[in-house]
Amino acid sequence: MGTFSLEPEQRAWCAELRALAADRLAPLAEKSEPGRINRPLVAELGRLGLLERLFTSGALDLCLLRESLASVCTEAETALALQGLGAHPIHAHGSPAVRERWIPEVGAGRAVAAFALSEPGAGSDAAALTLEARPDGADGWRLTGEKCWISNAPEADVYTVFARTTLGAGARGVTAFAVPADRPGLTGEHLDMISPHPIGTLAFDGVPVTRDDVLGEVDAGFRVAMGTLNLFRPSVGAFAVGMAQAALDATLAHTAEREAFGAPLKELQTVAHQVADMSVHVESARLMVYAAACAYDEGDPEVPRRAAAAKLVATEAAQRVVDAAVQLHGARALRRGHVLEHLYREVRAPRIYEGASEVQRAIIARELYKGRQKQKESA
């Protein structure tokens, strides 16, 4: 596949995904309770084989999957993405026993996973986390502290938890653990957020973990976190592109049919130019996302910069496109139940989670200067 085009088979798969989302997933999403895990929806994603794709697909396929679902059913896209984010570290870094325990269950939609990195005082600066893993015997630790803004918390069945095993070591003193929800001392609460998917807090009161629960290596958990985010950041961009495409599609239909001043809205030059700009934003963001995903699949050393750029461009573009769509629709777009009312609420969060836009800019700049330094040293 070329970087800037999709093969016919890929286009056909995307169309199939959109049809499945409309026929099988959207009806289940409509029955969901805001702020709670929709387990029937997760189970259906498993039955359709889409969750298993999280563990067998490359970054580009993950982007195509997320974009296609998001353009029809954001709830299904988010349920799938959260499973991937929470379980990828287990799949990539867990022991054989931990993988065997959780990956088949997550892939089948019988177990729900969550990625527990952020804390009340450590959001954008993830290396500053303070959840402490205190030594407990020769082969274990006790986790003490809090996590906050955790998607799927506190209802998930297993958490990928990042805790500090070495004090004062910054990013080099963090370890990742797979922590089942039934471990003693682990509790949590729901948070009432503007976005309808489940988000909550977790409290760790001496939660026991052992070396069998470690994902990767002790004190190397930050690498696990960043590797996971490098994979998923382009696909966050794909989620945003899917929402932007849905907003553009709704706007094309509305402006072609709605009349004002004796003619369809599309005949007004100001409207036509806005729609053209919306289309350019969607397409340019999509190309950035596909390029970053291809770079990841090809092992490009510039993945951190390109993944950050894809997420930044796509999420910011989606915000502009959805906002423009609301403006062109007028008050009807703000009525509960309208597709744009839903997208307007959904589109805001991706500019914050998995690294806010400001963090993506910092990553891009850091990687650019790092590349310049390498060039100087090799000259």
Report which DSSP code applies to 32. Answer: P
Please answer whether residues 128 and 121 qualify as being in contact, where contact means their C-beta atoms are separated by less than 8 angstroms: yes
Containing 233, the helix (H) or strand (E) segment is helix 221-257
As given in the structure block, the two tokens for residue 101 are 């325990």
Catalytic residue among 75, 119, 354, 367: 354
Measured CA to CA, the distance from residue 321 to residue 286 in angstroms comes to 13
Please answer whether residues 93 and 138 qualify as being in contact, where contact means their C-beta atoms are separated by less than 8 angstroms: no
User: Can 100 be counted among the known catalytic residues?
Assistant: no
* Helix 74-93 and helix 59-70, axial crossing angle in degrees, nearest 10: 160
Prior bond to 154 cis, omega within 30?
yes
As given in the structure block, the two tokens for residue 229 are 């985010």
Please answer whether residues 78 and 236 qualify as being in contact, where contact means their C-beta atoms are separated by less than 8 angstroms: no
Please answer whether residues 147 and 162 qualify as being in contact, where contact means their C-beta atoms are separated by less than 8 angstroms: no
Q: For residue 43, give the nearest of 2, 18, 79 by alpha carbon.
A: 79
Q: Please state the separation of Cα 169 from the chain's center in Å.
A: 28
For 102, residues 6+ apart whose C-beta sits below 8 A from its C-beta are: 87, 90, 94, 111, 113, 158, 178
Measured CA to CA, the distance from residue 30 to residue 233 in angstroms comes to 27
Please answer whether residues 118 and 159 qualify as being in contact, where contact means their C-beta atoms are separated by less than 8 angstroms: no
Q: How far is CA 134 from CA 183, 206, 287, 335, in A?
A: 16, 8, 46, 51
32: region left, alpha or beta (phi > 0 left; psi from -120 to 50 alpha) = beta
Other Cβ atoms closer than 10 A to 125? 12
Q: Which residues are catalytic?
A: 354
